[in-house]
Amino acid sequence: MSKVKPYALTSGTISNIEGAMTFTESIRTCFSKYADFKGCATKSELWWWVLFVFITTIALGIISDKLSAVFSVATLLPYFAVVTRRLHDTDRSGWFQLWAIIPVIGWILLIYWCVQESKSPNRFA
């Protein structure tokens, strides 16, 4: 028998109590918080969004490079916003994204911070 996860209504969306979001919840949340750099984001919200942007960019690239480029530019701001909210969830400033400017080491460091567990309470919640 499969275990049913308990769900709760949080900030207008339904998600399970552990904070994990489904793929569609994550996409809906990231588009609804298009340029919202305040608050926190769960790991699942960030990583579902990254997967969505990656797959859609590749699929659109097969159809048209220009269409893929337009999509990438259109999703750049919500991408920065969700990473900022994820860093807030680990009690770090969104400015820590600037570490990504440093090739390889900066990317690894940013990924490491994004996969860490949420810190509660934190100064951004």
pLDDT tens, per residue, the chain with 125 residues: 444 344 444 444 444 445 788 999 999 999 999 999 999 999 999 999 999 999 999 999 999 999 999 999 999 999 999 999 999 999 999 999 999 999 999 999 999 999 999 888 888 87
Q: What is the 3-state secondary structure (H, E, C) of the chain?
A: CCCCCCEEEECCEEEECCCCCCHHHHHHHHHHCCCCCCCCCCHHHHHHHHHHHHHHHHHHHHHCHHHHHHHHHHCHHHHHHHHHHHHHHCCCCHHHHHHHHCCCHHHHHHHHHHHCCCCCCCCCC
123/118 Cα distance (integer angstroms): 12
